Structure 1
Amino acid sequence: MRKLLLTITTIIASLGIWLLISSNQAAKSTTSIQAKLADVKDYKYYLDAGNDKIGKEMAKIDLVIVEPIELQQKYIDYAQKNGTLIYGYINAMEADKWNSELYSQLKEEDFYKDEHGEKMYFSEWDSYLMDMTSQHYQKLLLEEIQKQIVQKGLDGVFLDTVGNINSYLPENEQEAQNKAMLSFIKAIKQQYNGLSVAQNWGFQTLADYTAPYVDFIMWENFSYDVVGEDEWSLDMMEQLVEIREKSGTQIMTIGFEDEEKSRTLAEKYQFKFFYSPAGSYYNTWQ
C-alpha cells in the first residue's frame, strides 16, 4: 500500500511539473509573439490563392493574414523562412457555405436562432450567424484550426466576425456568447500550446473578456471620414491603447478611404495601418 501511495504521489508530482512546464512554454511563446507583433511595421490581409509574385512580396512584409484553404503552402513556408508572421483566417461567428467541408458537418444546434426560431443569413457573404455556446460547433472550429492552422505551421489564428456578437445579437444574449467565445479561445490556447490568437472587431468582447488571450485585434474601415471625428471611435481608440498597455494586445487598422489622413490618425495612437481601396474585399493582392 505504501508503495502504491508513493507511486501515485510521484505520478501526481510529475503531472504537476509537466503542466507547469507547458504553462511556462505557452507564456514564453505568447511573450515572444507579442514582441514580434509590437515590431510590425507593415502588414497585408489577403484571402485568395498565391503566385510567385505574391509569394516574393509576402516575404518582404512583417505580417500577412491569409486564407489557409486557398493560399498554397509553399508561399506560406517561404514567407515564414524570411521572417514574415502568417496568421490563418477562421470565420468564428459565421459559417460560410463555400467552405463545404466544414458546413456539411454542422448541426441545427450550431446555428444561431432568434426568438422566433429563425436563422440569421448574410446574403452578401452567403453565410449564417452561428451559436458559439454550441459545444459541437466549438469542437468543429477547433478541428478546423488543427487542420488549417496548426498542421500547416502558421504563427497564429485570426478569428473573423467576433464583432457579430455585439453588432447583431440582442443585448440580453450577448453575455452568454461572449463567455462562450472566451471559453473557445482558452481552448485554443490549451490544446495548441499557446497558439497566438487574433480577432476582428468585437471591441467590447475584447475589453470585458478576451484581451488577456488575444495578441492583436483588427479595426476595419479605420477611415478618417468615419472615425476621425466620431466621439465613440475616439473613446474606443483611447480604450484600446489602455488594453494594449495592460495586455500587450496590438491594434491593426484598415483604412478604406483617405489613406494619408487615416494613416496619420493610426500612427498617432501607434496602431498598425493597412490601406485597402477595395474596402472589405481582400481577394486582390494590393
Structure 2
Amino acid sequence: MKKILLLFIAMLTAISIWFMITKNPASSSSTSIQAKLADVKDYKYYLDKGNDTIGEDMTKLDLVIVEPIEMQQKYIDNAQKNGTLVYGYINAMEADQWNTVLYRQLEEDDFYRDKQGEKMYFAQWDSYLMDMTSSHYQDILLTEIEKQIVQKGLDGVFLDTVGNINSYLPEDEQKWQNEAMLSFIQQIKQRHPTLSVAQNWGFQTLIDYTAPYVDFIMWEDFSYHEVGNDEWSLEMMKKLVHLREEFGTQVMAIGFTDELESRALAKKYNFKFFYSPAGSYYNTWQ
C-alpha cells in the first residue's frame, strides 16, 4: 500500500512538472534564449539602415542588435528565419531628440534634474538624461517596446544607457533610479514573458537589482589597454562570471582597440566579443 501511495505521489509530481512546462511558455522560452546566447560565437551591434549585403550578412550571425526604427523588417525576418537572434535597441536612460515621435510625448517631470533643478544634456548624442522613477516615462518606453520590438517580432529588447545611473547620478539618488529600473524591467517581463531583455553597462545595477531578468549585458570598450590590467575591471569580470553561473547572464564585450589582446581576454572569461574600431559609433557595418 505504501509503495502504491509513493508511486501515485510520484506520478502526480511528474504530471505537475509537465503541466508547468507546457503551460508556461515563458519559462521554456527563457531557457531556449539563454541556451542560444550561450552558444553565440559571432555577433554585431549596428544602428543604421540595412541593405541587401548587410541583410545577407545578418543571416550568418548568431546575434545582431539593431535600431528597429532604422532596420528594415525584411532583413530582420530573414535573419530570424536563418536562426539569428535579433534584439532591438531602446534608449532607456536618455531621450534622443532625433526620435521625434517619442520625444514629443515627454513631459517636464520625465526629465532628470540635478539638485539645482537643471536638466542633464549630452551634446555628443543630442540627448537628455531621463528620470526612470517617472511612471509616465516608463509608460512611454513600454509603449515604444510594444511598437518597435514586440509588434516587429524581435527576440529581445536591448536597453541602452542603463549604466548612466551609476555613472552620472549622485550616490544618494542611485538607489531610487535602480529600483525604478528594476520595476521597469519587471513590467516588461510581466507584459511580454517570452521577450528577452538585455542591458548596456550598469554592472552594479545588474549585480544588485536586474540580473534575474537580464539575459545578457554589454561591456563597451572592453579594450585590453583599458581593462587588461585594471584592478576594478578584472574584479568585475570575475563577478560577471559568477552572475552567469547563477542566472545565465551572458557578457557581450566590444573592443575598440587592441583587437587580438582584447579578443583573447574576452575568450579567457568566455565573454562574446565584437571588434568596433570606430568606437561607440555603430552606423557602419564592420
Fold match by TM threshold 0.5: yes
* Aligned partner letter, 1:46: Y
Instruction: Say which SS state the counterpart of residue 262 (structure 2) adopts.
Output: helix
Distance in 2 separating the partners of 1:239 and 1:100: 39
Distance in 2 separating the partners of 1:115 and 1:103: 24
Distance in 2 separating the partners of 1:228 and 1:249: 22
Deviation at 1:24, TM superposition (A): 2.4
Instruction: Say which SS state the counterpart of residue 253 (structure 1) adopts.
Output: strand
Structure 1 unaligned segments of length 5 or more: list them: 1-19
**C-alpha distance 22-119 of structure 1, shift in aligned 2 (>3 A):** farther
Aligned to 1:63: 63
Matched, 1:198 2:220: no
**TM-score with structure 2 setting the length:** 0.92
8 Å CA contact 1:188–1:194 kept in 2: the answer is: no
Distance in 2 separating the partners of 1:171 and 1:28: 38
The correspondence of residues 22-37 of structure 1 with structure 2, limited to 5 A, is 24-37=24-37
Distance in 2 separating the partners of 1:28 and 1:117: 46
Aligned to 1:171: 171
Distance in 2 separating the partners of 1:21 and 1:192: 17
Structure 2 unaligned segments of length 5 or more: list them: 1-19
Instruction: Say which SS state the counterpart of residue 187 (structure 1) adopts.
Output: helix
Aligned to 1:99: 99
Question: Over aligned residue pairs, what C-alpha RMSD do you find?
Answer: 1.1
Distance in 2 separating the partners of 1:213 and 1:24: 16
Work out the percentage of aligned pairs sharing the same amino acid.
77
The correspondence of residues 119-134 of structure 1 with structure 2, limited to 5 A, is 119-134=119-134
Distance in 1 separating the partners of 2:74 and 2:166: 38
**TM-score with structure 1 setting the length:** 0.92
Deviation at 1:192, TM superposition (A): 1.2
8 Å CA contact 1:49–1:71 kept in 2: the answer is: yes
Distance in 2 separating the partners of 1:99 and 1:64: 21
* Aligned partner letter, 1:75: Y
The correspondence of residues 260-271 of structure 1 with structure 2, limited to 5 A, is 260-271=260-271
Instruction: Say which SS state the counterpart of residue 279 (structure 1) adopts.
Output: coil
Alignment size in residue pairs: 267
Matched, 1:251 2:246: no
Instruction: Say which SS state the counterpart of residue 116 (structure 2) adopts.
Output: coil
The correspondence of residues 1-286 of structure 1 with structure 2, limited to 5 A, is 24-286=24-286
CA-to-aligned-CA distance 1:176-201 (integer Å, 9 cap, x gap): 00000000000000001231000000
